[in-house]
Amino acid sequence: MKRREFMALTAAAAAATTAGTLPAMAQAKMVLKATDVHPLGYPTVEAVVRMGKKLEAATNGRLSIQMFPSMQLGGEKEMIEQAQLGALQIARISVGPMGPLVPEMNVFNLPFMFRDNAHMEKVIDGPIGAEIMKKLTDHPTANLIGLCWMNAGTRNVYNAKKPISTLADLKGLKIRMMGNPLFVDTMNALGGNGVAMGFDQLINAMQTGVVDGAENNEPSYDSGQHYRYAKYYSKTGHLMIPEILVFSKKTWNELQPADRDLIARMAKEAQQEQRKLWYEGEAEALKKMLAAGAVVNEVANKKEFQEAVKPVWDKYAGALKPLIDRIQAVN
């Protein structure tokens, strides 16, 4: 930098400091810590890594993202807690565990809520998605900023014992569910025994027989190598839950408005980028799990499953009814 430019910049910085703001260029470097339960290469992880590169380029290296994949900073519960404290900045989490905190989010956790991927995408991309995201951001104690949605396909049951084709096949099976009473109720309504635990505890629970299996989308089943413990993957399709990228409110409040805008915009771009990565990753995961010995079966009579979860809707859908009606009307 030429001396004259430097002087001008210093003067500008001094003036801005007096005014209470610092010009962007004079701001210190900041490394945003990001985390995900999934490994490098997983669609959500890759989308955030790419977002980090774009952020770094746009700010000449002043802002960057350091990714801690594979539960390096703990399970989803720990990730949320650390983001709330500002110990990390970006966490990619499922809507699943947020339901008990932000009631409107539970609408996406209802079994068989969405007709298909296209329906789900239309809802999260549109005004309803923006509204629910705002509920999270505005929540007085969640201490998180909702940045964007991400795809997570459809969740199917897998277990060590047998393929699930009918409700009767689920009888007596202990199936791990995410930490939200709605999911335990869902599995129980389907005839199995729902057991709530963190994703980080699942492998051990399958190894020791604490559970017979779990339920998840193909990429999670594949990248976690869950087929090694539960080879029957049955396409029950009972849940379709989008994921969210959240930012620590504590750190957010310390950022300059222009940086907040930049991060928010890049997160929106990451949402679309992750979607492409998602469909590629899903197809790839299916190939890999089959090659690894997973036995995949379709469920012919889905209606039986849809009818069985009626008590879950009766219990949880009441207050969410207007929102549900609007979601169902999206086509």
Contact segment (CB under 6 A) with ligand GTR among 18-26, 133-141, 216-224, 259-267 equals: 216-224
Question: How many Cβ atoms are within 10 Å of 148's Cβ, its own excluded?
Answer: 25
Q: Does 144 contact ligand GTR by CB under 6 A? A: no
Give the footprint of ligand GTR on residues 35-64 (CB under 6 A): 37
Binding mask 157-196 for ligand GTR (x = CB under 6 A): ---------------------x------------------
Give the pair of three-digit tokens for residue 152.
């997570």
Q: Does 83 contact ligand GTR by CB under 6 A? A: no
Output the smallest distance, CB 120 to ligand GTR, in A. Answer: 14
Q: What is d(CA 38, CA 46) in angstroms, rounded to the nearest whole number?
A: 10
Output the smallest distance, CB 176 to ligand GTR, in A. Answer: 8
Quote helix, strand, coil % in the chain, to nearest 5.
50, 20, 30
Output the smallest distance, CB 26 to ligand GTR, in A. Answer: 38
Q: Does 76 contact ligand GTR by CB under 6 A? A: yes
Q: Are 200 and 146 in contact (CB under 8 A)?
A: no
Q: Which of 89, 94, 234, 248 binds ligand GTR (CB under 6 A)?
A: 94
Cα–chain center distance at 143: 17
Closer CB to ligand GTR, 145 or 202, in the complex:
202
Q: Which of 69, 96, 213, 242 binds ligand GTR (CB under 6 A)?
A: 96
Q: Which of 34, 67, 83, 93 binds ligand GTR (CB under 6 A)?
A: 93
Cα–chain center distance at 329: 24
Q: Which of 106, 109, 186, 216 binds ligand GTR (CB under 6 A)?
A: 216
**Across-strand partners of 285?**
none
Pick the closest to residue 220 from 38, 18, 85 (CA basis): 38
Q: Are 108 and 242 in contact (CB under 8 A)?
A: yes
Closer CB to ligand GTR, 145 or 152, in the complex:
152
What angle in degrees, to the nearest 10, is found between the helix axes of 321-329 and 127-138? 150
Q: Does 220 contact ligand GTR by CB under 6 A? A: yes
Q: Does 199 contact ligand GTR by CB under 6 A? A: yes
Give the pair of three-digit tokens for residue 297.
């079966």
Pick the closest to residue 279 from 100, 94, 153, 146 (CA basis): 153
Pick the closest to residue 189 from 57, 305, 296, 61 (CA basis): 305
Binding site for ligand GTR (CB under 6 A): 37, 76, 93-94, 96, 152, 178, 199, 216-217, 220, 243
